[in-house]
Amino acid sequence: MRETVQEARPMTPAGRRIVAAAEELFYNRGITAVGVDLIAEHSGVTKRTLYNQFGSKDHLVAVYLAGRDQRWRALVQAAVDAAGTPAEAVVAPFEALRTWSAANTRGCAFINALAELPDAAHPAHRVAADQKLWLLNLFEELAAAADCPRPAALATRLLVLHEGAIATQPLALDTLPEAVELARALVEAGSRVSRGPRDSQA
């Protein structure tokens, strides 16, 4: 059975250096453009050490993306927990994106990985795809908790807005404020429907 990212053994200090170097190189130069020789050089280890720790470049890419995924989910969850109302919680991932984008200016590493690694069986492809599905499911759960009608449909629209804001990030065009405004409008419109005309006029 193929080893999954979650089943990987505890990482050594050398392994952590390798992942740190791989993250910088993969994100800034692209996954397919970066080879293990360059990663080994930047992390100050031999190729043998790299392969002993990770087994393959494919697995190293998956580990790199899984680490980003964990940090992103923690940031989103913190934004959700800090929201004052259920409706505000629905758009909390957009607020998390505002913070995340300040330190990640080359767009979404997961979108980039899906474009570079189209094989659905690739371990890193699965990590990237799961990240997007997780966000879609989270939007739906939050929308349902806020009593928005048709939470699944709303979640899809919010995901499209969210991913669109990320995709345009490398351009000299800040679409995030407009995306947040549209997301709030969608949630508010749903909230008015769920309250009914009498409640919304009270």
- Residue ranges making up the domain that contains 37: 9-55
Full pLDDT tens readout for the chain, 202 residues: 344 454 456 789 999 999 999 999 999 999 999 999 999 999 999 999 999 999 999 999 999 999 999 999 999 999 999 999 999 999 999 999 989 988 888 889 999 999 999 999 999 999 999 999 999 999 999 999 999 999 999 999 999 999 999 988 878 778 889 999 999 999 988 665 555 554 444 4
Domain boundary among 55, 72, 87: 55
- Number of domains the chain is built from: 2
Question: Whose CA is closest to 79, among 105, 97, 66, 53?
Answer: 97
User: Which CATH number do you get for residue 91?
Assistant: 1.10.357.10
49 and 108 belong to one structural domain: no
100 and 162 belong to one structural domain: yes
Question: pTM of the prediction?
Answer: 0.86
126 and 103 belong to one structural domain: yes
Per the CB < 8 A criterion, the answer to whether 108 and 155 are in contact is: no
13 and 34 belong to one structural domain: yes
149 and 89 belong to one structural domain: yes
47 and 80 belong to one structural domain: no
Determine whether 43 is exposed, middle or buried from the number of CB atoms within 10 Å of its CB (0-12, 13-18, 19+).
buried
68 and 117 belong to one structural domain: yes
* Residue 201 belongs to a domain: no
Give pLDDT, residue 194. Answer: 54
38 and 103 belong to one structural domain: no
113 and 20 belong to one structural domain: no
Per the CB < 8 A criterion, the answer to whether 162 and 72 are in contact is: no
Give pLDDT, residue 29. Answer: 96
Dist. CA 88–CA 111, nearest whole Å: 26
Residues in the chain: 202
94 and 44 belong to one structural domain: no
* Residue 3 belongs to a domain: no
Give pLDDT, residue 199. Answer: 47
User: Which CATH number do you get for residue 48?
Assistant: 1.10.10.60
Give pLDDT, residue 193. Answer: 56
